[in-house]
Structure 1
Amino acid sequence: MVADPLWTGYRYREVDADGWATFWRLDPRGQTFRLHDWHAYPNKPGHRLWSRAATPAGVRAAWSTTATAVTLEIRAALDIYARIAPVDFLIGGELHQRHEVNPGEQLITVDLPGEPVDLEIWLPQSGAIGVRAVRFDGEAVPRPPTGPRWITYGSSITQCSGANGPSETWPALVARRHQWDLVALGFSGECHLDPIAARTIRDTPARLISMCLGINIYGAETFSGRTLPGQVESFVSTVRDGHPHTPLVVITPLIAPDLEGKPNAVGLTLDDVRACIELGARTLHDPDLHLIDGRTILTPEEARHLYADEVHPTPDGYHLIADRLAPLLTLPL
Structure 2
Amino acid sequence: MEAPKQHERSRELRGDDPALLWAGAVEVEHTPDFSRPWRLPHSRISLFPGDVLRRRASMAAGVRIVFGTDSTHLAGRFDRVGKDELSPVDLIVDGEPVRTQKVAADGTFRFDGLPAGDHTVELWLPQFGELRLRGLSVDAGARVRRAEPAARPALITYGSSITHGRQAASPTRTWPALTSRALGYDLTCLGYAGECHLDPMIARLIRDRPADLILACLGINVRGQGTFTERSFLPAVLGFLSTIRDGHPGVPLAVVSPIVSPAKEETAGPGGMTLSEIRRAVGTAVTLLRGHGDTGLHLIDGSGILGHPDADLLTDGVHPGPEGHELMARRLTPELRKLIG
TM (norm. structure 2) is 0.87
Distance 1:280 1:4 in 2: 44
Q: Which residue of 2 aligns with 1:161?
A: 166
Distance 2:109 2:176 in 1: 27
Show the 5 A alignment for 1:276-295.
276-285=281-290, 286-295=294-303
Q: Is the 8 A contact 2:238 2:289 kept in 1?
A: yes
Show the 5 A alignment for 1:1-333.
6-16=21-31, 18-32=32-46, 46-79=50-83, 82-102=84-104, 104-106=106-108, 108-137=110-139, 138-145=142-149, 146-285=151-290, 286-303=294-311, 305-330=312-337, 332-333=340-341
- Per the alignment, do residues 292 and 131 of structure 1 end up closer, same or farther by CA in structure 2, a change over 3 Å counting? same
Distance 1:324 1:107 in 2: 33
1:5 Cα deviation after fit: 5.5
Distance 1:197 1:185 in 2: 9
Distance 2:68 2:50 in 1: 41
Q: Is the 8 A contact 1:84 1:102 kept in 2?
A: no
Give the secondary-structure state (helix, strand or coil) at the position aligned to 2:40. coil
Give the secondary-structure state (helix, strand or coil) at the position aligned to 1:283. helix
Distance 2:265 2:340 in 1: 34
CA RMSD of aligned residues (A): 2.2
Distance 1:118 1:281 in 2: 41
Distance 2:145 2:30 in 1: 23
Q: Is the 8 A contact 1:48 1:190 kept in 2?
A: yes
Q: Is the 8 A contact 2:62 2:125 kept in 1?
A: yes
Distance 1:196 1:95 in 2: 35
Range with bigger deviation, 271-280 or 227-236:
271-280
Distance 2:257 2:146 in 1: 38
Distance 1:88 1:165 in 2: 7
Distance 1:260 1:32 in 2: 35
Q: Alignment identity in percent?
A: 39
Give the secondary-structure state (helix, strand or coil) at the position aligned to 1:206. coil
Q: Is the 8 A contact 1:76 1:101 kept in 2?
A: no
1:282 Cα deviation after fit: 2.8
Q: Which residue of 1 aligns with 2:5?
A: none
1:107 Cα deviation after fit: 5.6
Structure 1 unmatched ranges of 5 or more = 34-44
- Per the alignment, do residues 167 and 226 of structure 1 end up closer, same or farther by CA in structure 2, a change over 3 Å counting? same
1:213 Cα deviation after fit: 0.4
Distance 1:317 1:157 in 2: 10
Distance 2:97 2:53 in 1: 30
- Per the alignment, do residues 131 and 141 of structure 1 end up closer, same or farther by CA in structure 2, a change over 3 Å counting? same
Q: Which runs of 4+ in 1 moved over 6 A?
A: 1-4
Give the secondary-structure state (helix, strand or coil) at the position aligned to 2:298. strand
Count of aligned pairs? 318
Higher share in helix? 2
1:104 Cα deviation after fit: 4.9
Give the secondary-structure state (helix, strand or coil) at the position aligned to 1:241. helix
Give the secondary-structure state (helix, strand or coil) at the position aligned to 1:88. strand
Q: Which residue of 2 aligns with 1:36?
A: none
- Per the alignment, do residues 231 and 97 of structure 1 end up closer, same or farther by CA in structure 2, a change over 3 Å counting? same
Structure 2 unmatched ranges of 5 or more = 1-15
Q: Is the 8 A contact 2:306 2:328 kept in 1?
A: yes
TM (norm. structure 1) is 0.89
